Chains A and B, each alone.
Chain A
């Protein structure tokens, strides 16, 4: 076991502990023996003792001539009043113990997270399908033809009769097509003009 004297740094610290009577008996004996044989150590001890006594006396005198900032009875009454006020306050309700608290079940968390994840994946997949158009369930907008184009596709019955009359039989003389009073040598030309609106 390390002795107290051996823990201290210098003679001043040893002497302070010796003056304060805080050394163990064995260490006190050793210091006393050192003081008997070492004159310089004894001189140092006496100076330290005298300085401590002087400061103690002067402090006591300073306390005597300088009043306390607060009276002890007044301070005691103040604290006593504070204590009574604290005792009179209603005590806060004790915090709920772990036993009283409702058990929080975390079991609902995992299926909810899983369902949310599946929903997000489905939304992303549907969105991508819609952008590529390969989805059979996506209605394809129907393209309705314009009225002018639709009429052009219908055959003109009048043009068909004129063509039939213009086509000569094998033994019959060629008949010249007359359209609107104008002889038509070129049937093709007439056929080309068949789509023209009838005046």
Chain B
């Protein structure tokens, strides 16, 4: 039986800021609603920038950090609102993860370790999707700075100005990295 679609006019989406206010007031359901809203894009982002195996742990760390600092978050002073703040926390967690893993060592080994770590588990192999696998490998081969900009743009749908603030770089730099990432991916997928 197919359930009828509920029109948006009947069930309006509660804004992130409204959910945050209710969370601050001690309503766990508001926190759960935020987690559900951002679980998929946040998990995908972390999978692409930090790897499949670390994504789950980093996802939980991100939300725990949100709970730790929710009282101090001010939407008015954070351009991009809660979404930008959430992805900034996630990006910092991913950076910390790479720092602890020894980023330089990974780079010197020619990304082989990264690709091996990011390989799908035996029970989760991609079937009949060779091109998808090539894209996954191509993304893993991107320099970290380019990979972050590209994945932030795609999964968070933030503006480039907001992405630049999340990454702590000028707008020109973020755009330059984005352009290089697109050209590099296009080249790698065309191999």
Q: Which residue of A lies closest to B151 (CB)?
A: A59
Q: Is the CB of B132 within 8 A of A66?
A: yes
Residue contact B182 to A52, C-beta cutoff 8 Å: yes
A69 partner residues in chain B, CB cutoff 8 A: 43, 47, 52, 55-56, 59
> Chain A interface: which of B9-17, B29-37, B87-95, B106-114?
B29-37
- Residues from chain B with Cβ under 8 Å of A77 in the complex: 32
Is A54 touching B43 in the complex (CB atoms < 8 A)? no
Question: Which residue of chain A lies nearest to B182 when distances are taken between CB atoms in the complex?
Answer: A51
Report the minimal beta-carbon distance from B37 to chain A, rounded to whole angstroms: 9
B75 within 8 A of A: no
CB atoms of B135 and A80 under 8 A apart: no
Cβ-defined contact, B26 with A22, below 8 A: no
Identify A80's interface contact among B28, B55, B178, CB under 8 A.
Answer: B28
Using a CB-CB cutoff of 8 Å, which residues 49-105 of chain A contact chain B?
Answer: 51-52, 54-56, 58-59, 61-63, 65-70, 72-73, 75-80, 82-84, 86-87
A13 at the interface (CB under 8 A from B): yes
State in angstroms the CA–CA spacing of A76 and B28 once bound together. 10
A side interface size, CB within 8 A: 39
| A72, B41: Cα distance in complex, Å | 11
Report how many A-B pairs have Cβ atoms within 8 Å: 127
A177 interface hit (Cβ, 8 Å): no
B31 contacts which chain A residues (CB < 8 A)?
Answer: 79-80, 83
B160 touches A73 (CB 8 A): no
Find out whether the CB atom of A12 lies under 8 angstroms from the CB atom of B55.
no
B179 contacts the other chain (Cβ, under 8 Å)?
yes
**Residue ID in chain B nearest A4 by CB atoms:** B171
Cβ–Cβ < 8 Å partners of B127 in chain A: 65
Chain A hits for B36, CB < 8 A: 72-73, 75-76
Query: What is the size category of the interface that chain B forms with chain A?
Result: 35 or more
Q: Is A8 an interface residue (CB 8 A)?
A: yes
Q: Which residues of A contact B33 (CB under 8 A)?
A: 76
Q: Residue A174 at the B interface, CB < 8 A? A: no
A20 within 8 A of partner (CB) = yes
Most buried by B among A58, A67, A69: A69
- Alpha-carbon gap, A51 to B63, bound state (A): 34
Is B143 at the interface (CB under 8 A from chain A)? no
Asked if B154 and A76 make an inter-chain contact with CB atoms under 8 angstroms apart, the answer reads no
Please tell me if the beta carbons of B172 and A55 are within 8 angstroms of each other in the complex. no
Residue A31 CB within 8 A of the other chain = no
Q: Among the listed B32, B131, B150, which residue makes an inter-chain contact with A76, where contact means beta carbons less than 8 Å apart?
A: B32
Say if the beta carbon of B167 comes within 8 Å of chain A.
no
Question: Are the C-beta atoms of A16 and B43 separated by less than 8 Å?
Answer: no
Is A59 a contact of B154 with CB atoms below 8 Å? yes
Contacts A16-B179, A51-B186 known; A79 to B172 CB distance under 8 Å?
A: no
> Are the CB atoms of A79 and B52 closer together than 8 Å?
no
What's the nearest-Cβ distance from chain B to residue A50, in Å?
A: 9
- Bitwise interface map of B from 15 to 54 toward A, beta carbon under 8 Å scored 1, else 0: 0000000010010110111011001100110010000100
> 7 other contacts beyond A68-B40, A72-B35, A84-B28, with CB at 8 A cut-off?
A51-B186, A52-B182, A59-B154, A63-B44, A68-B44, A70-B59, A72-B36
Q: Can you report 18 residue pairs joining A to B where beta carbons are below 8 Å apart? A: A20-B159, A48-B179, A48-B182, A61-B135, A66-B47, A66-B126, A67-B124, A68-B39, A69-B59, A70-B59, A72-B40, A75-B60, A76-B35, A79-B64, A80-B29, A80-B31, A86-B67, A87-B28
3 closest Cβ contacts across the A-B interface?
A72-B39, A13-B175, A76-B32
